[in-house]
Amino acid sequence: MLKRFLLGLLVLWSGVSLLGEARRALTSWDARAEWEAQPDAWRFGSPPVDRLEDCLDDARRLVPPGAKIVFAAPGEPPDRALFATRWAAYLMPARNVFRPGEGKARYVLSWRVPLAGPDLTGVRPVRQLPGCFLYEAKSEAKP
Amino acid sequence: MSLWAVAAAAALFVLLGLLGSRFASALASPADGALYRGVIYTMAGAVALHLVLTLLDFAGVRWSLPVLAVAAVLIAGVAGIATSFDAPGSAPAQDPHSPSPSLPSSPPPAGREGSRKPNKGGIVLGCSPSSPGGRGGGWEKRAGVMRVLGGGAPRHVKFAPRGSGGEGLGRGELAWGDALALFALAVFTAFALSGWIAMPDYVYHWGFKGYRFYLAGGVDYTFLAHGWNWAIHPDYPNLVPEMFAVTALLAGSFQMPAMMLGTAVLFALFVAACREGLRQGGAPAFVRQAGTALVALSSAAFGIGYIMAGAADWNLALALAAALPPLLRPPDRTGDYQIAVIAAFAAASKIEGVPLAAFLVAIQVFRHAWSEWTERRLSLGAAPGAVVAAGLLPAAVVLPWLGRAGHHHLFQAFNSGAFGVARAGEVFAGVGEALQLPAWHGFLPVMFLPPLLLVPRRTRAFAAAATLELLFYFYVYFTTPVANYRYFVLSNFPRLGFQLVPACMVAALMAWGAAKSERPAGSFPPAAPTPSKEPA
């Protein structure tokens, strides 16, 4: 009897846990328009991802499939820039997207802010896209 | 959300189950319920798919639906030929709940001829006479004959081995625990389909690789070998992205919700496996229901709270849960084949699945050897047979993976290093912190139960595999060179624990809650090895 009671309590606790998690998830889902998180906490349907998709939708029309793109996130710490780059790579799987310093590419996509200073060496602006800036290397060199 | 894509994801798992069911005569034990058979068949189908895709990659053939359809028909034919030969020593296990012989000697009852009558290519998924007590008959009666892939197999391999009525949904109609489990599954699925609880690793590498493979029509090793891809674990086994890619092939496009549905299916499969573990473990009805509910509710809570949709850890959780029934029964050839499928599935899914596969196979072989030895047959003849039966399939998965990853230099230097005892403080601090993770609601310490579960005989074999896997996790923590060990542990320990927790819960409930008298005499599984030595 004691075993059944304890086991019943565990089931009850796990049920309460699920309802709690579901409530939290539902609350955050309802408020997803305010989910202005850092790249490591981005989620599908959150505003930063939507903005990135807007940027990449336009970039896809200008950058051919198979092309290499350096995804720069000026001002972001390296770990956050890595997560943002991974999102960009997922959203543009037909292109090869990587971070500055990881390879040579013909295109540079600067997230949110334009390139400035030494980053501009060797590239020329192509177009300002929604929420990002597209550049093309003067030669396929490391930007 | 594209309903077509989601339906395609569901269809893929149904097709895998049907493909795997072609091996029913080797994979289904009379002790197994229909749900568990479905689990094993689906895993077998996934392994078959993985091997086909690997073969196509070696041959340089682009993945496409026509090619996969031809391969499926070929596999079905090969399965028909292969299973037409009864393997020696493949005596089926006795249903632990039934005193009657495993195989019915009388003709089927009138009205069920459809499930017994030979048919072209038909197989039976849990079509059995209703249970002796009459309970569960409704579900079992509703189970039907499933025709698969054109048929052509010999007449005597059309049917799964059948027991004495313990199949169906696993003896008994849906009860309160099953209902709670279905509720948990529904809640998790709803959030998963939204993408809101998609795991970051789905975006960073699992889903991304699946998308790339879909576009490339194969595993794109040239792409994986690029230096900038160090972050996407290019050396990992590829079953998970392959499943995503084939889902996209079926759907005609790569749709995130379809991939999320795959996780929900894996969830359902591992809850079914846990339920079967409790049943075959001899747990009383209340413990079976409570255990099923507990596993499903706690897993759904963690899956939502820790955002786990699209993660590969579900595959390993499924593998460990599915290993419970064959490790509970005395070792037999059907168990060997089941372990082979489970080990191959684990090894194809994730890097820590490779050692898990080795542990499972080694333990099954040891059980055979031990069984022979203790029965004073003074022969270890069954052990080499078990090595082949349980080890060949995992080897067929692991060796090509090792070869391709080595050939393309995909193994990353940061994956291994010297054993560093000095980092123990940081590692255990991270573990301590992870154990208090709110999303686990206090259930994560269950992952440390395997060493204790070595004590009861009935859970010993499973506990040995789980303990070795647990030790492997810590081996990785003590050998992987990273800058911040606390962060490293915190970033993955909660979900590594998820691989172990559901199956360990079930084993613990069996050890704690099952009445020993419910188990027929002489059917205790023999002792499994203690984790004194790491298997090869």
Q: Are residues A67 and A116 in the same domain?
A: yes
Query: Could you give the CA distance from residue B528 to residue B450 in angstroms, rounded to a whole number?
Result: 13
Q: So what's the pLDDT on residue B379?
A: 60
Name the residue facing A14 among B191, B196, B294 (closest C-beta).
B294
Above 70 in pLDDT, residue B522? no
Confidence of residue B1 (pLDDT cuts 50, 70, 90): low
Q: Are residues A68 and A131 in the same domain?
A: yes
SS3 B97: coil
Residue A115 lies in a domain: yes
Residue A22 lies in a domain: yes
Beta-strand relationship, A123-129 and A96-98: unpaired
- Asked if residues B492 and B445 have their Cβ atoms less than 8 Å apart, the reply is no
Above 80 in pLDDT, residue B140? no
Above 70 in pLDDT, residue B158? no
Q: Are residues A90 and A107 in the same domain?
A: yes
Q: What is the least distance, in Å, from the CA of B338 to any CA of chain A?
A: 30
CA atoms within 13 A on the CB side of B531: 23
Q: So what's the pLDDT on residue B518?
A: 44
Above 50 in pLDDT, residue B49? yes
Above 60 in pLDDT, residue B169? no
Q: Are residues A102 and A60 in the same domain?
A: yes
| Percent of chain B predicted with pLDDT > 90 | 68
Query: A9 is in which domain, residue-wise?
Result: 2-30
Residue A111 lies in a domain: yes
Most confident of B134-138, B143-147, B284-288, B512-516: B284-288
Query: Could you give the CA distance from residue B69 to residue B294 in angstroms, rounded to a whole number?
Result: 39
Q: What is the least distance, in Å, from the CA of A94 to any CA of chain B?
A: 7
CB contact under 8 A, B228 and A86: no
Query: Could you give the CA distance from residue B434 to residue B428 in angstroms, rounded to a whole number?
Result: 10
Residues in Cβ contact with B123 at an 8 Å cutoff, skipping those fewer than 6 apart: B18, B21, B22, B24, B145, B146, B147, B148, B158, B159, B160
Q: Are residues A82 and A118 in the same domain?
A: yes
Residue A142 lies in a domain: no
Name the residue facing B196 among A14, A29, A89 (closest C-beta).
A29
Q: Are residues A121 and A51 in the same domain?
A: yes
Which chain B residue is nearest to residue A14, measuring alpha carbons? B298
- Give the CA angle between residues B530, B534, B536 to the nearest 5°: 130
Measured between beta carbons, the chain A residues lying within 8 angstroms of B287 are 3, 7
Above 90 in pLDDT, residue B402? yes
Q: Are residues A132 and A99 in the same domain?
A: yes
Query: Could you give the CA distance from residue B432 to residue B437 in angstroms, rounded to a whole number?
Result: 9
Domain spans of chain B? 3-94+110-518
Measured between beta carbons, the chain A residues lying within 8 angstroms of B255 are none
Tell me how many domains chain A contains: 2
Q: Are residues A100 and A127 in the same domain?
A: yes
Above 50 in pLDDT, residue B126? no
- Give the CA angle between residues B355, B310, A19 to the nearest 5°: 110
Measured between beta carbons, the chain A residues lying within 8 angstroms of B207 are 90
Mutate to test the interface with B, among A2, A4, A11 (most CBs of B within 10 A): A11
Q: So what's the pLDDT on residue B165?
A: 39
More confidently predicted of A94 and B372: A94
Q: Are residues A26 and A86 in the same domain?
A: no
Residue A143 lies in a domain: no
Whole-model pTM: value is 0.85
Kindly state the average pLDDT of the residues B326-335.
93
Q: What is the least distance, in Å, from the CA of B211 to any CA of chain A?
A: 6
Q: Are residues A57 and A116 in the same domain?
A: yes
Which chain B residue is nearest to residue A10, measuring alpha carbons? B294
Q: Which residue has the tokens 């303990």?
A: B467
Category of B111 on φ-ψ map: left (φ > 0), alpha (ψ -120 to 50) or beta: left
Q: Are residues A23 and A88 in the same domain?
A: no
SS3 B497: helix
Q: Which range is least confidently modeled, B6-20, B68-82, B102-116? A: B102-116
Mean pLDDT of chain B: 83
pLDDT tens per residue across span A71-120: 999 989 988 999 999 999 999 999 999 999 999 999 999 999 999 877 77
| Percent of chain A predicted with pLDDT > 70 | 97
Confidence of residue B377 (pLDDT cuts 50, 70, 90): low
Q: Are residues A111 and A65 in the same domain?
A: yes
